[in-house]
Amino acid sequence: MTKPTSIFHLSSERQFAVLFLVALFILLAVLTSRGQQQPGYSQFMWDQLVINPGYAGTTESWSARLFYRNQWSGFEGAPQTQHISIQTPLSNRQFGAGLHMTHDQLGISEQFSATASAAYHLKMRFARLSFGLNGEYAVQRMNWSTLHPTDEGDAELPFADASVSSPNFGFGLYLHSPKYYVGLAIPKLLESDLDYSGSESLGTADYSLRRHYFLTAGYAYTINPNLILKPGLMTRYVHGAPVQVDVNVSALINKKIWIGGGYRFGDSAQLMVQYHLTPYLAVGYAYDFTLTRIQNHFGSHEVFVGWDMQRKRDGYDHPRYF
């Protein structure tokens, strides 16, 4: 009688295919079908802490990431996002901890959030499975005073700025090896309606927060020692909005420079480049070509800076793949 074969006895390619299909099935099962409210990045593969707490501590040492995104550049009131994160493994990589802060602005709406994450990393034969939890404190602000209505005496128009806070928490699973990763996360579990009616000028104005689901996956394929090919995927879903799918592929050349492109279905195409000043310090840039009706007028710019503390042990002379 043939002994059943464990998934972790399969090759890396087959492990990745099986685990990706399992994660996709789980994601579809939990979707029971408001707009997208979680900030999005074209270079998401370089810092998944913002969407998956299971990513905390998956770096080899202390690391920090900085993002700046200017969407639809030149369009008044267009989204702008700044994001910084720091993370580290703990207890010989058995645990991980991370902290990230995000500032997101769209027109008169502004949000600042701070999120702490913790993860437990279960070591398996060919991979590690991380279980992560996070806690977030966010402040939503409506800057009504920046508006200049033609009829400033209209009692129905708000005139005073207002803000409201919203704590939240989330969880995520992140399976990773030197060759691949598969992540499944809900970074904000709680759904709520934020009521701005504390200001007499706002009446019954409110803002609805909706739960987001994320599925990510990536694989690093070694063509030769100086050329690594890395396809990636991110799928995002929030109730009441279309499923958003990002696919990309990039190539690492001579362990120094990543060059790649991506496609966000129904929205935009991206070109990306990242250069490693050292094995521990990298800078990156992405440009999004909008494919909607404003494609002839506005594109999006995204800048990335990543730093990884040099490890004490010898033998690390290449950049991170994920």
- pLDDT tens string 112-123: 999 999 999 999
Predicted TM-score (pTM) of the model is 0.81
Mean pLDDT of 224-230: 95
Higher pLDDT, 260 or 298: 260
DSSP string, 14-62: HHHHHHHHHHHHHHHHH-------S---TTGGG-GGGT-GGGTT-SSS-
Domain 7-308: which CATH number of 1.10.10.10, 1.10.10.60, 2.40.160.40, 3.40.50.620: 2.40.160.40
- Lowest-confidence pick of 28-42, 54-68, 146-160, 250-264: 28-42
Query: Average pLDDT for residues 308-322, to the nearest whole number?
Result: 62
Counting Cβ atoms within 10 Å, is residue 187 exposed (0-12), middle (13-18) or buried (19+)? buried
Using the predicted structure, report yes or no on whether residue 4 has a pLDDT greater than 90: no
pLDDT band at 232 (very low <50, low <70, confident <90, very high): very high
Measured between alpha carbons, how far is 247 from 65 in angstroms, rounded to an integer? 22
Which among 13-22, 32-41, 75-84, 209-218 has the top mean pLDDT? 209-218
Instruction: State residue 21 phi and psi, 5-degree precision.
Output: -65, -40
Q: Tell me what percent of the residues of the chain surpass a pLDDT of 70.
A: 70
The answer to whether the beta carbons of residues 306 and 47 sit under 8 Å apart is yes
Question: Is the pLDDT reported for residue 44 higher than 80?
Answer: yes
pLDDT at residue 53 in the model: 98
Domain boundaries along the sequence of the chain: 7-308
**Tens of pLDDT, residues 70-106:** 886 666 667 889 999 999 999 988 999 999 999 998 8
How does residue 39 score in pLDDT terms, banded at 50, 70 and 90? low
State yes or no: pLDDT of 33 exceeds 50.
no
Residue 159 pLDDT: 57
State whether the Cα torsion 59-134-185-119 is positive or negative: positive
Q: What is the pLDDT of residue 267?
A: 79
pLDDT at res. 233: 94
Question: Is the predicted pLDDT of residue 283 greater than 70, yes or no?
Answer: yes
Contact between 208 and 36 (Cβ < 8 Å): no
Residue 154 clears pLDDT 70, i.e. is over it: no
Is the confidence at residue 306, as pLDDT, over 70?
Answer: yes
pLDDT digits (tens, 9 = 90+) for 123-144: 998 899 999 999 999 998 877 7
Give the pLDDT of residue 28: 45
Tell whether the model's pLDDT for residue 180 goes beyond 70. yes
Amino acid at 52: N
Backbone angles phi, psi at 31, to 5 degrees: -80, 120
